[in-house]
Chains A and B, each alone.
Chain A
Amino acid sequence: MTVNVTRRQFFKLGAAGVASSSMAMMGFAPESAEASVRQFKLTHARETRNNCTYCSVGCGILIYSHGDGSKNVRQEIFHIEGDPDHPVSRGSLCPKGSGLLDFVRSETRLEYPQVRAPGSSEWKRVSWDEALDRIARHIKKDRDANFVERDETGRTVNHWTTSGFLAASGASNEAGYITHKVVRNLGMVAFDNQARV
C-alpha cells in the first residue's frame, strides 16, 4: 500500500501506532520502500506562537524550532506556518508571510556592532561596549552643548533639537514604550515613527 499521509491523518496513525507496528511484525509489511510513513518533520520541534511582522492584519503564526531549550543548545528556527486557531487568519498566510523564514534567516541579517569612521568606505567590527560607549558619548556631547532650558524670551522649554530619532513600527509595544520613555526624557522632540510616512 502506498500511503499518502496528510498531517491530520498522521496524528490518527500516531494514535494507532502500537497497532500498526504490530501489524508489520505479523507480516503485513509495506510492499515497497515508499510505503513507509515519512518522518513528520515537526515531531521534535518546539512550537512558539507569534504574529507576522509585516502588515497590520496581525496574522497568527506558529514558529517551529529545533532544540529543547537546554543551556548548551542554540534554538534554531526551521519552519513557520499559519496558526489555524487565529480568528482573523485561520491558518493562512499571504505571499509575504509565507516567506517569513527567509527573513529570519536572511544572509543580510546583521550580527555584530560596526562602526564606519568619517570618510571611510569600510565597516569596522567593534564590541557592544565600545559601540554603546561611543553612542552615549555622542549623545552627551551634543545634548550638553545644545540643550535649551529657556528660549530667547525666557520661557522654560527644556528641549534638545539637534539630534533626532526614528522609532520602529515593526518593534514591539514594549520596545516602543521604553524608547519613548528614554528619548523624550533626554528632551528630544525630533522624534517620529513610520506613522508619519
Chain B
Amino acid sequence: MTNHWVDIRNANLILSMGGNSAEAHPVGFRWVTEAIEHNKAKLICIDPRYTRTCAVADYKAFIRTGTDITFLGGLIHYLITTNQIQREYVLHYTDASLLVREDYGFEDGIFTGYNPDKKAYDDKSSWMYELGDDGYAVRDMSLQHPRCVYQLMREHYSRYDIDTVSSICGMPREHIEHIWSEIGKMAVPHQTMTILYALGWTQHSIGSQIIRTAAMVQLLLGNMGMPGGGVNALRGHSNIQGLTDLGLLSQLLPGYMTLANASEQDYSAYIKKRAKQPILEGEVSYWKNYEKFHVSLMKSWFGDAATQENNWCFDWLPKLSRPLYDVLDTFERMHKGEINGYFCQGFNPLASFPNRQKVTEGLSRLKYLVVMDPLNTETSEFWKNYGEYNDVDSSQIQTEVIRLPTTCFAEDDGSIVNSARWLQWHWAAAPGPGEARPDTRIMGELFIRLRDLYRQEGGAFPDPILNLDWDYDIPEAPSSEELAQEYNGRALVDLTDDNGNVTRRAGELLSGFSEMTADGRTASGCWIFSGAWTQDGNQMARRDNSDPYGTGNTLGWAWAWPANRRVLYNRASADTQGRPWGREKAFVWWSSEQGRWVGADIPDFPVTSDPARGQGPFIMQPEGVGHFFAGQSMVDGPFPEHYEPFESPIDNNPLHPNNPLAKNNPAGRIYEEDRKALGTREEFPHAATTYRLTEHFHFWTKHARLNAVVQPEQFVEISHQLADEIGVAAGDWVRVSSNRGFIKAVAVVTKRMQPLRIGDRDVHHVGIPIHWGFTGVAKKGYLINALTPVVGDANTQTPEYKSFIVKVEKA
C-alpha cells in the first residue's frame, strides 16, 4: 500500500477493483465503511462477480475478467478529453511535460523494439526521454509538443472510447458513464479517490500493467501522496510484504537491491547502473545512494572478509545466467528433470502453482524434497495416494521427502510486515507441539552442519559459507532479537561528521539508512528496515496508538518502512509552494518559520528542502516525478495496453483484430509445452476466475476445525442462465474441466454471476473458490490448480489464475 488501512477513512471515493476486500480483508474493509459513514465517501466496486464488496457499494458493475486495462484506459481517455485532471499536479509532479525520443512508436498493438522470434522486446532503447545537451530530459511545460508524454498518452488511449470499452469489458454504456463521471469529480485538488486492489489485478498476464494504469489514473487526478488517495495493494499473506522487502525472490537482494547478471562482471559498473543519477537538474534521485546500502549488506553478511580490495565480495554473490529463476522457470526445469532438490518452507506448491499435473510430475523427478511446515500440506504428501483427489502410484515416485515440523506464529518471537508496511513485533505464547522448531533454528542448524562439512571435507566454492558472518550467541539458534538488530544495522567503527565529531559509537545500532556509508564503516542486512531497532530499543514493539493530527496516522504504533513513514510520496500532498491542496487534506507541509517540512507524517522528502528549490516529490525517481511513461522499467511496454488473457473466450484482441501477435501480451511468459496445453474456446467455452472466501485462508484453514465447519464443502458458482443451458440445478454436482485437468464440485446457482455481452455473444463466467484439498480436517476436495494454465505476467511472472477457460457440465 502506498497509504495504509486507517487512511482509507480519509477518502472521498473508493474504487475497489481486482479485489474483494469485504470478503478477503474484512477488518481492513471496516475503514471503507468508516469512510462511507463518516466521510460521506462513495464506494465503487467492479468485479466479474457480485461480491460482498459490491453488496455495500454505491456503484457496481460486472466486468469480463482480464479486461481491466480497457476500463481504466478508457477512463484515462475520458479524464483527458473532458479535462477532468488535477492540472497543476500533472504539470509539476509527473513526467507529462517530458519529451520522448523520436524513434519511440506503437503500431497495431506492438511497441518499437519487439523481436517476434524471442517473443520479447529486446531493444528498449526508444522507450526513453529525449535528453538535451546537458544530459537532462527535455521538457515542454505547455504540454503541446506532440512527443511530450502527455500528448503520447492522450493519443495512445484515444482508441479506448466508450463503445470499445463496453464491448471488450461486457459492461453497459450507462454503467461506464456513471462510474467515470463519479471518478472525474475527484480531479479537484481537495478531493481524493483511493484504489484498493489485490490478486484480482496481479494474477493476469498483464497484471503489472493493470496496476500501472491505476497509478496513471491517480496521477491524473492528483491522488498520489494524498491522504485518502494512493494505489493500495491489499496483500495476501501476513508477511508477504516483509519477505518481498527482504528480497527472497530469485533476482533480488534485501531492500529491492538486485543481483548482478552474468554480464555484469565489473563491480563499479554494477553499482553505477543502479545508483541512478538525476535525469532532471537538481532532483534527489535517492537511489544514487545504492552503494551505501549494498556495502552495508555485504558487511552484514561477510563481516571482515568484505573489503574494498575484494569489492566487498561482489564475486561471491551468485550471478544470473538467465533473466529469472522464478517458480515458473524452476518448475519447467524440474519437469524436465533438471532440478535435484527442492525446499518448501511454509509453502504448498502442489496446491498453489498452476497445472497441478505438471507440478506432480516435476516433484516426482526430484532426488530430494524438504518440507518445513506447521501443517501436513498436500505438497509434503504429493507421493501418497488419496484416491480421486491425488491419484498417484507411490511405488513409481523415487523422491526422498524429508518433512520438518515448524512452530507457527503463536510460538515464536519476531516481526511481520502488514500491507501498510508496518513492522509489528509479536511474542511467543507457548512452545510448538511435539518437537516442532522455529524456522530460524532450522536454518541455523542446517547452516552450522554445512559449514562443518565444508570445513572438514572442502567442496565447491566454500568461501561464502566459511566466511558468512555468524556471530550469534547460540550459533545453531540465532535469536529474533539478534537478527532484527542485524537487519537494522550498526556502526562498525566510530562514525564522525564533517568536523570530526563522533556521531555514532562503534557497535551502536543505526538510527536509519541515512547513517550508512559506502566505505565499510556500517553494516545493515536490509537498508529499508533500518530504524526498526535503534539505540532506543525495538521500535516495532511500540504501542502508542495516539493520533495527534486526527488524520489516522499513528506514528507511535509499531514502525513502518521507510523511516517510519506512513504515506509514501507525501510531499505531493502539498502544492508547489508547500501548502496543503485543501484544508481537509492537510498532511505534510512546508513551515517557513521552522525552515522545514512538518505535519502528520514523516516527510517523504529532504526535510529542509525549500519548495522554492523545486525538487520533485517522487524522490526515488531520477526525474523526481511520477511516471505516466514507464520508460524502460517494464518489459512489455511504456504504456499499458489491453491484451486478451492467454486463454480467452473470444477469438482476437478487439483492439487489434488483425494482428495475432497482439492478441495476448506479446511479452507474456509462457513455455512452448505450456502453450500447447492451452485450450480453445470451442472446447472450453466458459470464462473462469478463481477466488477466496471470507471463512477460509488459502489452503491453511481447512486444517482448522471452526473454519472447516462454517464452510465445509467445495463448490463453484454459476449463473442461472448457464445452469439452464447445461441442465444443472442448484446443489447438483458439476464437473469443471480445462485442457489440463478437471475438478468436481457442488454447483451454487446464483444471480451473483451474470453472462456478459462481449461483442456479438454472451460469455458465461464460472467462479471457482480455491480452498479445498486432500489434507486437513475439512471435507476432502479437488485442488483447483488442476485447471489453471502455466502463463505468467510479463513483469512479475505471477500466474494467470484469474482468467482462463473451462467447460462446466453436469457430473
Contacts and interface: CB of A to CB of B under 8 A. Distances in A.
A37 interface: no
Contacts of A88: 5-6, 27-28, 31, 418, 420
Contacts of A185: 301, 316, 464-465, 468
Contact of B408 (A53, A163, A196): A53
A19 interface: no
B435 A128 contact: yes
B416 A164 contact: no
Contacts of B547: 87
B701 A96 contact: yes
B712 interface: no
Interface string B229-262: 0000011111111111111111101100001001
B518 interface: no
Contact of B704 (A106, A147, A192): A106
Contacts of B243: 167-169, 171, 173, 176, 193-195
Contacts, number: 487
B325 A59 contact: no
B490 interface: no
Contact of A163 (B241, B326, B339): B339
Interface string B342-361: 11111101001100000000
Contact of B262 (A60, A109, A157, A181): A157
Given A181-B301, A192-B327, A110 B697 contact: no
Interface string B724-750: 000000000000000000000000000
A112 B406 CA distance: 9
A177 B472 CA distance: 14
Interface string A104-123: 10111111111111111101
Contacts of A54: 237-238, 697, 700-701
B394 interface: yes
B427 interface: yes
Interface stretch (A3-11, A25-33, A133-141): A133-141
B461 A50 contact: no
A151 B320 CA distance: 10
Contacts of B401: 115-116
B240 A195 contact: yes
A164 B366 CA distance: 11
Contact of B454 (A65, A99, A100, A140): A140
B398 A119 contact: yes
Nearest to B486: A177
B522 interface: no
Given A85-B545, A174-B483, A196-B326, A168 B345 contact: yes
B560 to A, nearest CB: 11
B474 interface: no
Given A53-B409, A140-B459, A197 B798 contact: yes
B55 interface: no
B398 A177 contact: no
Given A121-B394, A168-B439, A162 B545 contact: no
B230 to A, nearest CB: 16
Nearest to B384: A121
A169 B247 CA distance: 12
Interface residues of B, number: 169
B122 interface: no
Nearest to A137: B453
A104 B408 contact: yes
Interface in A16-57: 46, 48-57
B432 to A, nearest CB: 8
A48 B428 contact: yes
Interface in B352-375: 352-353, 367-368, 370, 372-375
Contacts of B700: 54, 103, 170
B548 to A, nearest CB: 13
Given A156-B265, A187-B461, A102 B27 contact: no
B576 interface: no
Contact of B410 (A77, A115, A132): A77
B346 A168 contact: yes
B422 A58 contact: yes
B347 A167 contact: yes
B437 A128 contact: yes
Contact of A182 (B247, B411, B431, B446): B446
B416 A51 contact: yes
B455 to A, nearest CB: 12
A49 to B, nearest CB: 6
Nearest to A160: B318
B399 to A, nearest CB: 6
A6 B458 CA distance: 67
Residue among A55, A158, A191 with the highest chain B CB neighbour number at 10 A: A55
B703 A174 contact: no
Contacts of A117: 400
B772 to A, nearest CB: 14
A47 to B, nearest CB: 9
B47 interface: no
B426 A87 contact: no
B703 A108 contact: yes
B609 interface: no
A171 B419 CA distance: 15
A136 to B, nearest CB: 4
Contact of A132 (B325, B446, B543, B545): B446
A54 to B, nearest CB: 4
A68 interface: no
A176 B246 contact: yes
Given A102-B705, A158-B319, A197-B353, A169 B237 contact: yes
A190 to B, nearest CB: 4
Nearest to A45: B429
A189 B320 contact: yes
A12 interface: no
A172 B427 CA distance: 11
Contact of B26 (A95, A101, A115, A116): A95
Contacts of A103: 408, 700-701, 703-704
A107 B439 contact: no
Contact of A92 (B30, B339, B367, B777): B30
Nearest to A54: B697
B163 interface: no
Given A171-B239, A173-B414, A111 B321 contact: no
B486 A112 contact: no
A180 B439 contact: no
B450 to A, nearest CB: 5
Contacts of B431: 74-75
A97 B249 contact: no
Contact of B375 (A94, A101, A108, A112): A108
B796 interface: yes
A50 to B, nearest CB: 4
Given A108-B376, A120-B394, A164-B341, A143 B436 contact: no
25 contacts: A53-B410, A56-B235, A88-B31, A92-B30, A94-B27, A96-B697, A99-B704, A107-B777, A109-B434, A110-B405, A111-B434, A113-B403, A119-B395, A128-B437, A132-B442, A135-B370, A142-B367, A159-B320, A165-B343, A168-B439, A169-B237, A171-B243, A191-B325, A192-B327, A195-B249
Q: Which 3 A-B pairs have the closest CB atoms?
A: A168-B346, A111-B434, A58-B418
Interface of A: 46, 48-60, 63-65, 67, 74-77, 80, 85-89, 92-104, 106-121, 123, 128, 131-140, 142-144, 146-149, 151, 155-182, 184-197
Given A108-B775, A128-B435, A195-B244, 11 more contacts: A56-B236, A95-B26, A119-B394, A157-B319, A165-B343, A170-B238, A170-B409, A181-B301, A182-B446, A194-B236, A194-B240
